[in-house]
Amino acid sequence: MESPSERPRKRHRNADASTAERPSTKQAASKGMACYTLEDLESVEFTWTIIDGQLLALDGFISAHPGGSLIQRAVGTDASSLFHAHHTSDLARAVLAECLVGYVKQHRVEAQSLRAELNKRIGKYMKPETPAAEAIAISMLGLFVVWCYFVYVQGFFWLNVFTSWFWWRHLDAGLHAVVHGDFRYSLILQRRLLQVYGLLCHHMLDHYQGSQSSLSQHFEHHLFTNDFRKDPDWTVFAVGRNWIRRHACNAWQPYNAWQVFYWLPMRCLVEPVTEILTMGSTCLNGASQMFEAPAGLDKFTDRLKDVMSWWIEAFLSPGYQGAAFLLQPTGRAFGALLLSRAVAKLVLLPFAEVQHFLMPDEMSKDEEFVLRQLRTTANLRLANSVVRLLDFLMFHGDSLQVEHHLWPAMSFIHLREVSQVLKSACKEFPGKLGTGRTVMNSSCQQVRKGRKSYECAGYVQYILCTCMFVCIYIYIYIIYKIIYIYIIFILKIFVCSWISEEGLFDVVSLNEFASLKIQGKSGRNPS
């Protein structure tokens, strides 16, 4: 079989890679293209990937890929879904034609006519024309520094409790956005923002970015979004135990009352404590690993960077607030941290509960990606202008999930405009998108519009369990104070006994010990 490096690469004009049919074996041979089987690909000597049945040689192109190291995830696999999730223009397909070396036999190409039509309509929004996204991100990071000063240095207790949830969510959303390429206007700024958000939210870096040799869990989620057989995030989503009714397919059930009773204390009290302990353990283990003999200087440098990243997040992140423990009394810092984490869970959890619909037991294998997203993803309709502003500053994390699932590489700046294009397309497309239009309108009307989207019973249970959580927290705080006083009492007894045994002076009772302290403060000689 002729090597792709020896065969001249011909420019292959492709009208639409997402809808064009793969040529037959005879047609491919007439064009000078080889037809490979999957068994043949195991022994080839070039770096390859498959997109829509086309075999592409990536030697020499990986380093020049405009999207960076993401192309590493496409090596040696079928990258059709990955390609269509991040490319909508004809330019990308023209570049693919330069890498085309053949076709793969018995490869099924999924029809994506609706996706191709939508891509044509929103193509101009894929590339940002101004650095607006970068300006917003940098401004928000500046405000975060100001917030850290008031909370960590000045010790503004209630500011910490009631606003740390926003910064916790913003930093996570910032890392999510920069990994998706929302800040593509300047590659230099994109790298710097990735470094900053990667430090402040380091524990999520592997989840979003992954390694160069494999797709991250989040990218797998975007390739198989809401496909319960393949989506790795499916076990993370709170589908099936929702506290807020948002669609007829997932109405309130009697067992949800027990789930609210159980999950609220777990999420608001137990999880924050375990997460804080886990972060502390990770930082200490990382520090201890620095004393191990490294395999080389590069390995030691990578290990040092990783350990420093964990410690920086532990000190500066609103979720851990290690800097406050250095600059404030320990009890005050710990109480503010636990309260802020509890408030964050109470504020953010209901939003996370309404993003995804229940999937049917059997999905049609011929259902297009666009229809599946319209049917299984929900957008939050935020009626309050302040809430809409906060959602925008969190890079539209909740109000434009459908558009983000359809075009994950699009900057959050353009998602609102694309949403209007999508709605108009649902009205225009005949046939199958009529269902999409119905689903789209249904999701817009039924998903969380003020109080109407709340199930009354579920809302009452939520309020009652919130009050129960507050009572539990107060009870635990009282127990903590009792234990603290008891420990101090025991220590005083031991100290007094030790002093008495040493013969420094006799202590008959704790009352006399207290009077001795008072006399000592007044300047009189206790002897």
The pTM (predicted TM-score) of the whole model is 0.68
Q: Environment class of residue 170 by beta-carbon count within 10 Å: exposed (0-12), middle (13-18) or buried (19+)? A: buried
Residue 284 has pLDDT above 60, yes or no: yes
Of 282-296, 383-397, 486-500, give the lowest mean pLDDT range. 486-500
Predicted confidence at residue 174, as pLDDT, reads 92
Question: Do the strands 100-104 and 34-36 form a parallel or antiparallel pair, or are they unpaired?
Answer: parallel
Higher pLDDT pick, 438 / 146: 146
**pLDDT (mean) for 59-82:** 68
Name the pLDDT band for 16 (thresholds 50, 70, 90).
Answer: very low
pLDDT-derived band of residue 2, with 50, 70 and 90 as boundaries? very low
DSSP string, 364-399: -TT--HHHHHHHHB------SHHHHHHHHHTTSTTT
Where residue 494 falls among pLDDT bands split at 50, 70, 90? low
* 128 or 509, higher pLDDT: 128
Give φ, ψ of 8 to 5 degrees: -65, 135
Query: Which of the given ranges, 33-37, 220-224, 235-239, 241-245, has the highest pLDDT on average?
Result: 220-224
Give the DSSP H/E element, type plus range, for residue 183.
Answer: none
The C-alpha atoms of residue 454 and residue 252 are separated, in whole angstroms, by 10
Q: Which residue has the higher pLDDT, 95 or 459?
A: 95
Maximum CA extent, the chain: 111
Give the mean model confidence (pLDDT) for residues 177-200.
Answer: 89
pLDDT above 60: residue 355:
no
Strand partners, 230: none
Its CATH class, for the domain covering 25-110, is alpha beta
CA 524 to chain CA centroid, nearest Å? 63
Q: Specify the higher pLDDT residue, 129 or 52.
A: 129
Place of tokens 């959602």: 391
Q: Where are the alpha helices (DSSP H) in 317-376?
A: 322-327, 330-352, 369-376
Amino acid of residue 120 = K
Contacts of 209 (CB under 8 A, 6+ apart): 179, 198, 216
Beta bridge partners of 100: 56
Q: What was the pLDDT predicted at 309?
A: 92
d(CA 65, CA 98): 13
Q: How far is residue 31's CA from residue 128's CA, in Å, rounded to a whole number?
A: 38
Size (the chain), residues? 527
Q: Which residue has the higher pLDDT, 361 or 205?
A: 205
Q: Across residues 471-484, what is the average pLDDT?
A: 67
Using pLDDT thresholds of 50, 70 and 90, give the confidence band for residue 406: confident
Distance CA 157, CA 19 (A): 58
pLDDT tens by residue, 300-336: 888 899 999 999 999 999 999 999 999 999 889 999 9
- What residue type is 104 in one-letter code? V
pLDDT digits 0-9 by tens, 79-118: 776 777 666 666 677 777 777 777 776 555 555 677 778 8
Question: Which of 168-172, 178-182, 335-339, 474-478 is the least confident region?
Answer: 474-478
CA trace torsion 315, 316, 320, 321 (10° rounding): 80
DSSP H or E run through 141 = helix 132-148
Q: What confidence category does residue 3 fall into, taking pLDDT thresholds of 50, 70 and 90?
A: very low
Average pLDDT of 369-378? 77
Mean pLDDT of the chain: 72
Q: What is the pLDDT of residue 371?
A: 80
- Report which listed range, 15-29, 229-243, 288-302, 489-503, is most confident: 288-302
Which of 244, 227, 243, 223 minimizes the C-alpha distance to 235?
227
pLDDT band at 144 (very low <50, low <70, confident <90, very high): very high
User: For residue 30, what pLDDT band results from cuts at 50, 70 and 90?
Assistant: very low
Residue spans of the domains in the chain: they are: 25-110, 132-452, 456-522
Best-predicted range by mean pLDDT (32-46, 298-312, 439-453): 298-312
